[in-house]
Amino acid sequence: MDIERRSGCPINLAMEVLGDRWSLVIIRDMMFGNRRHFRELLTRSDEGIASNILAARLKRLVALGLISKQDDPSHSQKSIYSLTEPSIQLVPVIASLGAWGRRHLPVSEALSIRARLLEEGGPAMWEAFMTDLRAIHITHPIDGANGTIGSPVLDGLTAAYRATLAATRDRDDGGTPQMP
Amino acid sequence: MDIERRSGCPINLAMEVLGDRWSLVIIRDMMFGNRRHFRELLTRSDEGIASNILAARLKRLVALGLISKQDDPSHSQKSIYSLTEPSIQLVPVIASLGAWGRRHLPVSEALSIRARLLEEGGPAMWEAFMTDLRAIHITHPIDGANGTIGSPVLDGLTAAYRATLAATRDRDDGGTPQMP
DNA sequence: AACAACCAGTTGCAAATCGCAATCGGAGGA
DNA sequence: TCCTCCGATTGCGATTTGCAACTGGTTGTT
């Protein structure tokens, strides 16, 4: 698998890699929800991605080196998907894109609290988050996938999300967003 | 025109708006190349977008409020497309995306020099650039389009691009990238 | 041993979108 | 009067999307 390379512009090439409806959403779920198995990405997604599209995107992202795939020793049929260094370095991109979306698009309060914290935390927090992500995705992918080891930064973001979700659940919407 | 709204997540909504092959590339050309007319966007693009797709994207971006369209007083058939405040606020997103692309994708030296300068300049430079963009796209769109007024930051980026292009032109590729 | 639940996908199919090439009617300039 | 330029539009085949149903196999429970 290879990209088209219509030009050597960084923005163009980035859009050839990430310029579709689902790739960055999948990376977001792996990064912030620690979704590491196909089923988790399929069923615990707020947006409801179709299974064939998820399969195609995962295959493509693996081929492009943005995620890696390995067997799960706890279950012969399971695979563990992990972020790689290039996708972990998307943290600043996702942080600024989230900050932009929060300002200009009709976001929900609960789902945007993490974007707010990440923006307020600034580059220092992003670096700490990336260090955590390297531990649970690259250094210890299996323990990271099964929850044996976690991420302090991610725990903080998730706690804030849960708290906001609990506080807003019965007051502003009828839906039931997935717990991370 | 409206987006799908599969969830209220900032990243999801941002990808519903910008998650396609061309939208951000068009905004990049308007922002860094000051392309303000349909023909400029069509013919002075390194990637060679098709005219029907350009027309559809421009219509969609106008409907979404990311760009605006007005008559060009100098020519009854011309239209001037301008960035709006939401798209000007994409500068930090584009800066970090460009920095990521420059590190992880096969960029060309000339086309990535602006991404490098923007990364090195940091948030202070982004703010200065956004201030310039507001002047030539929002406050004075006509003078900004015809070049009567310019942008110091943009002039610096463009000069660096031209210099790098001249220095690398006959040494590392056969193509002839468009001058901005 | 039987059975239900779960695993990572695959298949079929209709609808929408993409990308290219050719073209359009009108306007400006020589 | 041409010729060029203007912002698009049209036709059309190839590709992609999204949904639903399904596959072959494994695991845990009874």
Give the model confidence (pLDDT) of A109-120 as tens digits: 999 999 999 999
Query: From CA A85, how far away is CA A139, in angstroms rounded?
Result: 11
Helix (H, G, I), strand (E, B) or coil at B69: strand
Determine the pLDDT at residue B2: 86
pLDDT, tens digit (0-9, with 9 covering 90-100), for A35-88: 999 999 999 999 999 999 999 999 999 999 999 999 999 999 999 999 999 999
pLDDT, tens digit (0-9, with 9 covering 90-100), for B46-63: 999 999 999 999 999 999
Q: Give the contacts of A95 (CB within 8 A, at least 6 positions apart).
A: A115, A118, A119, A126, B96
Give the nucleotide nearest to A77 (CA→C1'): C7
User: What value does the mean pLDDT take over residues A142-171?
Assistant: 93
Query: From CA A27, how far away is CA A29, in angstroms rounded?
Result: 5
Q: Is A22 exposed, middle or buried (0-12, 13-18, 19+ CB in 10 A)?
A: buried
Give the nucleotide nearest to B78 (CA→C1'): D6
pTM of the model: 0.96
The nucleotides of chain D lying under 7 Å from a protein CB are 5-11, 17-22, 24-28
Determine the pLDDT at residue B174: 47
Helix (H, G, I), strand (E, B) or coil at B79: strand
Determine the pLDDT at residue B172: 54
CB-nearest to B107 from A13, A48, A90 is A13
Other beta carbons less than 10 A from residue B64's beta carbon: 20
Least confident of A119-128, A169-178, B1-10: A169-178
Q: In Å, what is the CA distance from A178 to each residue of A25, A46, A47, B9, B44?
A: 15, 6, 10, 12, 45
The nucleotides of chain C lying under 7 Å from a protein CB are 6-12, 18-23, 25-28
What percentage of chain A has pLDDT greater than the value 90?
Answer: 91
Q: Give the contacts of A180 (CB within 8 A, at least 6 positions apart).
A: A32, A33, A34, A158, A161, A162
Q: Give the contacts of B15 (CB within 8 A, at least 6 positions apart).
A: A21, A22, A24, A25
Determine the pLDDT at residue B65: 98
CB-nearest to A12 from B47, B100, B104 is B47
Which stretches in chain B have pLDDT values below 70? 170-180
Q: Do A112 and B47 touch (CB under 8 A)?
A: no
| HSE-up of residue B21 (Cα within 13 Å, Cβ side) | 13
CB under 8 Å, gap of 24 or more: what pairs does B71-80 form? B72/B37, B72/B142, B72/B145, B73/B142, B74/B146, B78/B37, B79/B37, B79/B38, B80/B36, B80/B37, B80/B141, B80/B142, B80/B145
Classify the C-alpha dihedral A34-A86-A61-A22 as positive or negative. positive
Å from A31 to nearest chain B CA? Answer: 12
Classify the C-alpha dihedral B80-B101-B122-A123 as positive or negative. positive
Partners of A79 in beta bridges:
A71
Kindly tell me if the per-residue pLDDT of A156 is higher than 60: yes
Contact indicator for A80, A70 with CB cutoff of 8 Å:
yes
Å from A87 to nearest chain B CA? Answer: 9
Query: From CA A134, how far away is CA A157, in angstroms rounded?
Result: 17
Å from A152 to nearest chain B CA? Answer: 22
Structure tokens at B78: 């011309």
What percentage of chain A has pLDDT greater than the value 70?
Answer: 93
Residues of B in contact with A102 (CB under 8 A): 10
DSSP element (H, E) containing A79: strand A79-83
Residues 37 through 96 of chain A touching chain B, CB cutoff 8 Å: 46-48, 86, 89-90, 92-96
* Owner of token pair 């790098």: B164
Mutation target among B1, B21, B100 for the A interface, most CBs of A within 10 A: B100
